Amino acid sequence: GAPLRLPLRTGSGPVLLLLLLLLVSVGSAIHDAVSGTNGTNVDPHHQSNSSGTKKPFPVLSFNYDHVRMPFEISLWILLALLMKLGFHIIPRVSHVVPESCLLIVVGLLVGGFIKAIGEEAPILDSKLFFLYLLPPIILDAGYFLPIRAFTENMGTILVFAVVGTLWNSFFIGGMMYGVCQIESAQLGAVDLLSCLHFGCIISAVDPVAVLAVFEEIHIHELLYILVFGESLLNDAVTVVLYHLFEEFSHAGTVTVGDAFLGVICFFVVSLGGIMVGAIYGLLGAFTSRFTSHTRVIEPLFVFLYSYMAYLSAEVFHLSGIMSLIACGVMMRPYVEANISHKSYTTIKYFLKMWSSVSETLIFIFLGVSTVAGPHAWNWTFVIFTVIICLVSRVLGVIGLTYVINKFRIVKLTKKDQFIVAYGGLRGAIAFSLGFLLTNSQVKHMFLTAIITVIFFTVFVQGMTIRPLVELLAVKRKKESKRSINEEIHTQFLDHLLTGIEGICGHYGHHHWKDKLNRFNKTYVKRWLIAGDRSTEPQLISFYNKLEMKQAIMLVESGSGAKLPTTVSAISMQNVQPKEAPRQRVIPTISKSREQEIRKILRANLQNTRQRLRSYSRHDLMIDPFEDNMSEIRFRRQKVEMQRRMSHYLTVPANRQETPPVRKVCFEPEHQVYNYDAIAIESPRGRDSRPTPSSPNDVSLLNESPQKPNQSSTTRAAGDVELRVKTEDEQEEQDQLKLSRCLSDPGPNQEGEGGSSFRS
């Protein structure tokens, strides 16, 4: 970002690094000092009491123990965030290397540094990881999961997640056992069960790593949801297999009954996790129905219910990740209908913030733990692990795709398969699971291998996936925003396909989806959504949301830049059918009057802008995931002028005026013509008439509704005779009313208007 540019760019990265190392060393030094002088803090006090000698009152005392824990935690988080900041200031590096790699490198450096000064480096504690670092990331992903894509590809995702992970585990485990049998490797101590255990730990695709890498390459939604969905849903398989093998390794023997129980366990774990999540989600939705008077705590309900869902699932050894996802998915449609817009923004931002911090911390700790942990390096084992992981992934994807394609309408191409296989990254979950193994020499070897695989996937695959995506010309994410036309047609298509299925007598996909929707509408929504919104159809909510977004963008981009100028608008008058054939006014008069109107509007606009800036700045936040400032500014101007133009220059008498606001959907390209001193809109903006009954609308300019007034006598510049249409009169009425509303005398309006009218 341009606004964030610091004076020195190239030197700041290393400077920050040094600064952080300094901070860390300070922390450690303090730690040393404390442990050295622990007793002495208390002693002087006692001594002074017992001996009677008067010591001067300690103006400045030192008590580090008191705040040690939060201090160190904050220091680490600060380190993580400063690093993140640093990377984005050095643009060249961040284009080539994904953030996760850089963070691991930083972790390595910090770990090395800590070890160098003789301290004991902290290790990524499994409890810390699973209870505190992982849930925000999963919740963020689950809450904003693209539901449509997810459910449409659910079958594929499930096959990859379940069957794929099973295949990976057993293949890797089996092959590694075979490798261990090789005499020269001296790995005879490793038995089959341990190998299988190892296999199941290393086989799961990691959601954190996938998110970290895929977010930067912006591929097609289908591929993203396939890999990401797989990484989420394979948690159940991983959990079951892990505990299964753990039990077996304690028990020593495996029977068929045990295997059968394992299968049952899988269903219990996954379905149970989903159920727990769904229950909490419904509770959360229900609670949000009553929060209309205490808006401030609304976001907390979302976070807490989700976290409780995760913890409750973990209590029973169910799949916490699936529970969290289910909770978020279940809760979201109802909660969003109930909460205020500010709460929605808060939720979005907090989730992004927490997940960002978590992710950063995880990668840094991975780096630190690598340096810290006891390692047992065995060339054969490690190399073979890496190779076999890759091979197994590729084989798994190809084999499964072959089967899946028989059932899919949109088949997966070779390119898709390659990306899915290549995107199977391993991450911190594998490391933490490995860390939970019981201590033994074998464990250290396993951990080393796991770390190597993680590093390999994150560094090699993570770094090369972007150029490969470009090389293979894989389809990228659609850049355009969702427009109202697409929404209309999506719904239309849904109904159409359901209808056709009904005609064919074929109860397929769409039929059941339609049934679910109807059930949702009739029963569930009534319980979970407060007030009128429960009966609001989806198209209308979509439309309202869109308008709200545009309204906010309009307000937010309020800092004045030079208004660009364009030619005429496409407004309602272009689209609205006319009742009677228009009488063309003499073009010269029309144009000049337009000029006047535009001048006046510009003046008013500037006043309005000032007003807006003072009123709304503290309420709303700019969405950093939207476009950058300059584009927002331009759009705002477009929007504003378009709105005004269409508001004034249009339309037959029966139009209803309601508090005006918004635009819908912009295209990024625009054409700017130097026509006038005043900005009108650009080709692609368009007007929309607001809905009369939308409680969440932001009414920016509280203009009073203006009635079209047909009488010509009330015109201010009454001394001119014109052949005018009703619309021209209305224009003037409106612009006068507007100026009155804004308490702006409208500089020389009448004088200018009068003089130009005469021409």
Q: How far apart are CA 62 and CA 660, in angstroms?
A: 61
Taking alpha carbons only, the member of 208, 262, 273 closest to residue 236 is 273
Q: Interior CA angle at 741 toward 737 and 744, to 5°?
A: 95
Smaller CB separation from other proteins, 117 or 493:
493
Burial class from Cβ neighbours inside 10 Å (0-12, 13-18, 19+) for residue 116 reads exposed
Closest approach, Cβ 597 to other proteins, in A, equals 11
* Shorter beta-carbon distance to other proteins: residue 82 or 163: 163
- Give me the phi and psi of 624, to 5 degrees please: -70, -15
Neighbours of 13 (CB within 10 A): 17
DSSP result, 162-195 = IIIHHHHHHHHHHHHHHHHT-GGGT-TT--HHHH
- Cβ atoms of 483 and 664 closer than 8 Å: yes
Widest Cα–Cα separation across the chain:
109
Give the residue with the Cβ less far from other proteins, 235 or 536. 536
Tell me how far apart the alpha carbons of residues 362 and 357 are, in angstroms, rounded to a whole number: 8
User: In the complex, what is the shortest distance from the CB of residue 212 to other proteins, in angstroms, rounded to a whole number?
Assistant: 27
| Closer of 430 and 474 to other proteins (Cβ) | 474
- Closest separation in Å from C-beta 115 to other proteins: 53
Measured at the CA of 643, the angle between CA 638 and CA 644, to 5 degrees, comes to: 105
Q: Which residue number, 45 or 411, has a Cβ lying nearer to other proteins? A: 411
Cβ proximity to other proteins, 216 vs 494, nearer residue? 494
- For residues 21 and 44, what is the distance between their CA atoms, to the nearest angstrom? 34
Tokens 């289908």 correspond to what residue?
222
Length of the chain: 759
Contact (CB, 8 A) for 108 and 220 = no
Q: Give helix 298-315 / helix 134-143 axis angle, nearest 10°.
A: 120
Shortest distance, CB of residue 502 to other proteins, whole angstroms?
3
Q: Which CB atom, from 230 or from 681, has the smaller least distance to other proteins?
A: 681
Q: How many CB atoms lie within 10 A of CB 343?
A: 22
Rounded Cα–Cα distance for residues 734 and 750 (Å): 14
Return the number of the residue (482 or 740) whose C-beta is nearest other proteins: 482
CB of 537 to other proteins, least distance (A): 5
Least separation, in Å, of the C-beta of 505 and other proteins? 4
> Whose Cβ is closer to other proteins: residue 29's or residue 493's?
493
- What is the closest distance, in whole angstroms, from the C-beta atom of residue 514 to other proteins in the complex? 8
Using alpha carbons, select from 443, 397, 419 the residue that is nearest to residue 190: 443
Supply the minimum distance, in Å, between the C-beta of residue 499 and other proteins. 4
Helix pair 134-143, 207-217: axis angle to 10 deg: 50
Query: Please, which residues have CB within 8 angstroms of residue 374's CB and are 6 or more apart in sequence?
Result: 444
Minimal distance, residue 477 CB to other proteins, in Å: 11
- Distance CA(175)–CA(181), nearest Å, equals 10
- Alpha helices of 252-319 — where are they, by DSSP H? 256-288, 298-315
Nearest CA to 362 out of 112, 204, 134 is that of: 134
47 vs 413, which CB is nearer to other proteins?
413
3-state DSSP percent of the chain in helix, strand and coil, to 5:
70, 0, 30
Q: What is the DSSP letter of 90?
A: S
Residue type at 714 in one-letter notation: T
CB of 271 to other proteins, least distance (A): 19
Q: Which is nearer to other proteins, 705 or 745 (CB)?
A: 705
**Min CB(685)–other proteins separation in Å:** 7
CB 543 within 8 A of CB 488: no
Question: Which one, 452 or 650, has the nearer CB to other proteins?
Answer: 650
Residue 519 or 615 having the CB closest to other proteins: 519
Q: How far is the CB of 511 from other proteins (least distance, A)?
A: 7
**What token pair was written down for 531?**
């007030």
CA dihedral 180, 181, 182, 188 (to 10 degrees): 70
65 or 532: CB nearest other proteins: 532
Q: Give dist(CA 472, CA 352) in Å, integer.
A: 31
- The single-letter DSSP state of residue 687 is B
CA distance 750 to 729: 14
Q: Considering beta carbons, is residue 506 or 740 the nearer one to other proteins?
A: 506
- Whether 124 and 383 have beta carbons less than 8 Å apart is answered as no
Alpha helices (H) along 316-340: 320-338
Looking at 537-628, list the stretches that DSSP marks H as alpha helix, in order from N- to C-terminal side: 538-556, 572-575, 587-616
Q: Tell me how far, at minimum, the Cβ of 406 lies from other proteins, in Å.
A: 6
> 80 or 222, CB closer to other proteins?
222
Question: Minimum distance from CB of 278 to other proteins (Å)?
Answer: 23
Nearer residue to other proteins within complex by CB, 306 or 646: 646
The nearest distance, CB 445 to other proteins, in angstroms, is 44
Cβ-based neighbours of 200, under 8 Å, separated by 6 or more: 169, 173, 238, 241, 242, 245
Q: How far is the CB of 124 from other proteins (least distance, A)?
A: 42
Residue listed under structure tokens 């003499």: 586
> Residue 688 Cβ, how far from other proteins at the closest point, in Å?
4
